[in-house]
Amino acid sequence: MEDGYQNKTAFIKGAKDIAKEVKRQAAKKVGRGVDKMTDEYSKRSYARFEEDDDDDYPGVPGGQDSGYYRGDSQAANDDEGGHSDSTEGHDEDNEIYEGEYQGIPRADSSKAADSLAGGDGQQFRDMAQFEGERRKDQEELAQQYETILQECGHGKFQWTLYFVLGLALMADGVEIFVVGFVLPSAEKDMCLSEESKGMLGLIVYLGMMVGAFVWGGLADRIGRRQSLLICLSINSVFSFFSSFVQGYSTFLFCRLLSGVGIGGSIPIVFSYYSEFLAQEKRGEHLSWLCMFWMIGGIYASAMAWAIIPHYGWSFQMGSAYQFHSWRVFVLVCAFPSVAAIASLTTMPESPRFFLENGKHDEGWMILKQVHDTNMRAKGHPEKVFSVTTIKTVKQMDELVDMGGDISTLRRYKLKLTSLFQQVRSNFLAIFNPEYRRTTFMMMAVWFTMSFSYYGLTVWFPDMIKYIQKQEYASRTKFFTKERVEHVTFNFTLENQVHRQGQYFNDKFINLKMKSMVFEDSLFEECYFEDITSSRSFFRNCTFISTLFYNTDLFQNRIINSKLVNSTFLHNKEGCLLDFTDDNNAYMIYFVSFLGTLAVLPGNIVSALLMDKIGRLRMLAGSSVISCVSCFFLSFGSTESGMIALLCLFGGISIASWNALDVLTVELYPSDKRTTAFGFLNALCKLAAVLGISIFQSFVGITKAVPILFAAGALAAGSFLALKLPETRGQVLQ
């Protein structure tokens, strides 16, 4: 009995030692001591053993850990009987753990937490030391990672990922063109005013601005692949909904959220792909990836050309629900995004992201997959991945383990709050002294490039439309004081102006009125039936004993006119599509198709020369040539001349965009790469909105102001670009 009592006493003492060891390890990790959570935990561990009496005491279980907490020092405890060297000789009542306990960090953060032990004054010095160690780890990882990519080679895996990410980039290119192509039809279908029409044209850029900033920041915290999947899914869902909704406000909302989704694709895609590319391949293959944005524009132009003018594709359910051909086009434009989602599910996360976040095994497995895939494709399946250990970056837990006493909702709320704080601190980090000058210089270059490029590329089609309108107006026929009696009009009336005319007992049956204007005219005992009109109006006219049957000549078409004993029966309700611009629509789609195709030579040249002449020379040189080409715009007075200048400008400027994308990827470290890229891309969309708004206001007024604005912005951008550091030949930070 005495032996059993002594065994139990020794066991209880061992349990108390273990509880103290838990407190010591927790205090060591956090550096601020322990609080009542650990006190209560040690009391529960002690009480659990004290409740056992002499009769049912089971003895010390060999290797069983259910009766007490096993911390990071479990192996040491097993070897040393529950003691560590640091606690031997201390009295049980020695209060060396006083302080405020802040939670037990995860095991992977123990080294980082160890370095933060000490008082408040020491904590700041230790934090600086921790940041220095973390930066050193990142530099070592960058060098080792480059060596590993060299061993993995460039082959089947990178080309597969190239096409998968290309689909995501293609979806972004499509999104830029969607609203511009559907606007001529949507504005008639939804009865849009000029103000509403302008908002619909800009809403996608506003959505993409928000999306680039949000998804760029999240991709550095939750991963490139996961963020890209989420943003593409949002784009797909709301693109699908936007093709079916009937109201203008709901369509506007869906296009806004669709833009928010796709806005993250460019920052994530370039960062994601760059982390699988070796140094000598990075500039070239990132430039090849840019071609998918061009393919997206070609796809959108071709689909618009093939679908929108074919109004026979539409159907309607009464007057409440109409699904016209432009809605089919919107639906088809969601296909690249859906295809990108399906393809991306087969690809892994960036191994660089895992290694930057301390996940060694996950990163190593992906790099081995890259190596084995490429070696098998090259006919060398016997080659073994020789890397066994990869440097990981020190981590410090920012999500505190709150234990099991809080609700799930509260836990998720704390995690979201912490995630927001992490994203915010990551964003502020790109304005630290180390990156401040680079960030401000990049902001200026991105802004000037986007302001001039998007402003001019939207101004070009508007100028072509204006030239077409002027040419059309020059062919207008004018009729004054004509008198027409007992005549039946059953053919198309187009591009005519009738003033002070008199029409007696005339019939207008089953015809289309295109750009017809009747001013100060008299219609007496006339009959209008099955009339479809576009840009046709009756101003200051008088209708006496006139019948309108199944026409759209009501309210919107008859302005400041007098109706005497006249009747409207079975009016065509709602706004109807404009059937008059079929040829012009084909021309606009064709112009966009040519303008997008014209960037192909620039893409090829930039891809072949990016790693040979450097990013800065490519960026500055292309910007200077684009600036010079702007002055040729003053000679574009015909439709064909404007198309040629559009192709020239697009083909030259694409090289500077490719260089800017590569430079942005390489100037920032991996843990801040998509955050910085997303912010700069958001600024790009803001500049696009300003450029489009300013340039459009000068259509038909003057060419000088847009030309000077664009040339000045490009000149400033090319000058500032030369002040940036060259990144050719450097390892990926």
Which mean pLDDT values do the consecutive 10-residue runs of the chain (733 residues) have?
Answer: 48 54 49 41 41 40 34 37 38 38 35 44 59 74 83 89 92 83 72 69 85 88 90 91 82 88 89 88 88 88 80 54 76 91 92 86 88 88 82 62 61 76 80 88 90 82 76 86 88 88 90 88 90 84 89 78 86 56 61 79 85 85 84 72 78 86 87 88 89 81 81 86 80 75
Handedness of CA 98, 102, 103, 105 (dihedral sign): negative
> What Cα–Cα distance (Å) separates residue 216 from each residue in 511, 673, 677, 687?
54, 8, 7, 18
Domain count, the chain: 1
Q: Which residues of 252-291 are buried (b: 16+ CB within 10 A; e: fewer)?
A: bbbbbbbbbbbbbbbbbbbbbbbbbbbbebbbbbbbbbbb
Q: In this structure, is residue 570 part of a structural domain?
A: yes
Which helix (H) or strand (E) segment holds residue 519: the answer is: strand 507-519
User: Can you read off the two tokens belonging to residue 235?
Assistant: 């784009």
Round to whole Å and give the CA distance between 104 and 114: 12
Q: ∠358-363-365 over CA atoms, to 5°? A: 140
Round to whole Å and give the CA distance between 74 and 86: 15
Round to whole Å and give the CA distance between 281 and 601: 20
Is pTM beyond 0.85? Reply is: no
Residue spans of beta strands (DSSP E) within 206-333: 315-317, 321-323
Q: In this structure, is residue 300 part of a structural domain?
A: no
Burial of 632 (0-12, 13-18, 19+ CB in 10 A): middle
Sequence-distant (6+) residues with CB within 8 A of 48 are 67, 68
For position 343, what pLDDT does the model report?
A: 93
Q: In this structure, is residue 418 part of a structural domain?
A: no
Q: Which amino acid is at 246?
A: Q
Contact yes or no for 665/274 (Cβ under 8 A):
yes
Which helix (H) or strand (E) segment holds residue 135: the answer is: helix 120-152
Round to whole Å and give the CA distance between 558 and 556: 6
Q: In this structure, is residue 487 part of a structural domain?
A: yes
Q: Which amino acid is at 704?
A: A
Contact yes or no for 286/266 (Cβ under 8 A):
no
Residue spans of beta strands (DSSP E) within 234-377: 315-317, 321-323
Burial of 547 (0-12, 13-18, 19+ CB in 10 A): middle
Q: Which amino acid is at 562?
A: K
Q: Which residues of 349-375 are buried (b: 16+ CB within 10 A; e: fewer)?
A: bbbbbbbbbbbeebbbebbbebbbbbb
Q: Which domain holds residue 575?
A: 477-581
Q: What is the CA radius of gyration of the chain?
A: 35
For position 313, what pLDDT does the model report?
A: 56
For position 303, what pLDDT does the model report?
A: 86
Q: What is the DSSP annotation of 207-220?
A: HHHHHHHHHHHHHH
Round to whole Å and give the CA distance between 144 and 33: 37
For position 53, what pLDDT does the model report?
A: 43
Sequence-distant (6+) residues with CB within 8 A of 1 are 54
CATH of residue 510's domain is 2.160.20.80
Round to whole Å and give the CA distance between 377 and 166: 21
Q: In this structure, is residue 698 part of a structural domain?
A: no
Q: In this structure, is residue 210 part of a structural domain?
A: no
Q: In this structure, is residue 686 part of a structural domain?
A: no
Q: In this structure, is residue 485 part of a structural domain?
A: yes
User: Can you read off the two tokens belonging to residue 98?
Assistant: 């006083």
Round to whole Å and give the CA distance between 603 and 620: 16
